[in-house]
Amino acid sequence: MTQHPNIDRPKTDDGVMQQRKAYYDKIGTRKLAPLWEVLHGLVIPQPKSACQPALWHYADIRDDIMEAGRLITAKEAERRVLILENPGMPGQSRITTSLYAGLQLILPGEVAPSHRHTQSALRFIVEGGGAYTAVDGEKTIMQEGDFVITPSWTWHDHGNDSDRPMVWMDGLDIPLVQALDCSFSEKYPEESQPLSRPTGDSLARYGSGLLPIDHEVRVPTSPVFNYPYSRTREALDTMRRRDTWDPCHGLKLQYVNPANGESAMPTIGTYMQLLPKGFAGESYRSSDATVFSVVEGKGYTLVGEGSDAQRFDWGKRDTFVIPSWVPHRHHAPDEDVVLFSFSDRPVQKKLGLWRESRGNR
């Protein structure tokens, strides 16, 4: 190799390193840095996430959730939530690299005051029934297994007029919005927003394969904001009669926006799947880290391969997370299983980034 004549190359490796270090320090004062020192950490051959596989057994944490109910009111807390913190990213309020999740408690008679923010939220009802959320002028009463959406920048408040505590999982695109520096939020001047539409109006208007003839698509989020479990379960039950099972997913459906056929929420994909009794899934991985909530039944997921392999035994109301590109297989040896899940898949797909692989490919 020919050396540039102007460069006085030191005779030892140490000398070379010192010369480069001096150069890095010098250009650093002009807000410059050498790419060649970091390139291989920036562009890695496949995802290597700080996100770790993790499992939360509901039975282990339910008392902690209820204790929060004795320590602080929903009103004081604004939202009384225990964050499901990924152990690989402590203190960062995230369950995956791009998504936040938590378990929210609302006790009988409480109200969580109205506010809005640019982050989109989903609620997946884990325990209880009969509490409501109000979104931009309409209330919906929530039951176990319902998937409820709070679109970006819509006023929302929650209340529990039932006689039981209610717990749901919140999923928000907080880290994604943080990465893009586009968080805006404000509080509504009163505790609850005024209602302008009857309860159930959105589902009646948009949720039956029909749309008002003049419906204009103005926002990227579904106009249906509660997808009741009774309907989801019925769809799974009817479809199972044809017996067409995916070897990795069993029977997996995605929640869609009826106005454009895309995911119900623009930044978070949401799914419900049935694993029939005896299901032994094949290995699957995808570039979207996925959060699962067990709706019915019990089973286990084998996560990772080789010496890193773990077995997550789960049952009703448990939550687990599979990071990007980690192979896993679901098993339902003893009974039918229903799993709700969510991920950032719609974002990755829109950007042409999403990948999946099956078996050992």
Query: Interface with ligand 1HN by CB under 6 A: which residues?
Result: 79, 81, 102, 104, 112, 121, 156, 170, 172, 174
Three-class secondary structure of residue 17 per DSSP: helix
Shortest spacing between CB 311 and ligand 1HN, in angstroms = 31
Report the residue number, 20 or 79, with the smaller CB distance to ligand 1HN: 79
Report the residue number, 189 or 352, with the smaller CB distance to ligand 1HN: 189
Contact indicator for 151, 118 with CB cutoff of 8 Å: no
Which one, of 30, 50, 343, lies nearest residue 171 by Cα? 343
| Full strand arrangement of the beta sheet holding 121-127 | 81-83, 100-106, 166-172, 121-127, 147-150, 226-227
Shortest spacing between CB 83 and ligand 1HN, in angstroms = 8
Report the residue number, 99 or 203, with the smaller CB distance to ligand 1HN: 99
Which one, of 21, 4, 5, lies nearest residue 13 by Cα? 21
Report the residue number, 79 or 252, with the smaller CB distance to ligand 1HN: 79
Its sign, for the CA torsion 247, 263, 46, 339, is negative
Report the residue number, 96 or 286, with the smaller CB distance to ligand 1HN: 96
DSSP 259: T
Question: Residue 296: which H helix or E strand, with range?
Answer: strand 290-296
Shortest spacing between CB 193 and ligand 1HN, in angstroms = 12
Shortest spacing between CB 325 and ligand 1HN, in angstroms = 27
Q: In angstroms, rounded to a whole number, what is the distance separating the alpha carbons of residues 164 and 170?
A: 19
Q: In angstroms, rounded to a whole number, what is the distance separating the alpha carbons of residues 79 and 276?
A: 37
Q: In angstroms, rounded to a whole number, what is the distance separating the alpha carbons of residues 97 and 288?
A: 10
Report the residue number, 81 or 326, with the smaller CB distance to ligand 1HN: 81
| Full strand arrangement of the beta sheet holding 131-135 | 138-141, 131-135, 156-160, 111-117, 185-187
Ramachandran region, residue 200 (left: φ > 0; alpha: ψ -120 to 50; beta: rest): left
Distance of CA 305 to the CA centre of its chain: 24
Shortest spacing between CB 115 and ligand 1HN, in angstroms = 6
Q: In angstroms, rounded to a whole number, what is the distance separating the alpha carbons of residues 94 and 174?
A: 8
Report the residue number, 170 or 288, with the smaller CB distance to ligand 1HN: 170
Contact indicator for 270, 122 with CB cutoff of 8 Å: yes
Shortest spacing between CB 69 and ligand 1HN, in angstroms = 15
Shortest spacing between CB 323 and ligand 1HN, in angstroms = 21
Shortest spacing between CB 156 and ligand 1HN, in angstroms = 5
Report the residue number, 94 or 285, with the smaller CB distance to ligand 1HN: 94
Contact indicator for 157, 150 with CB cutoff of 8 Å: no
Shortest spacing between CB 172 and ligand 1HN, in angstroms = 5
Report the residue number, 173 or 318, with the smaller CB distance to ligand 1HN: 173
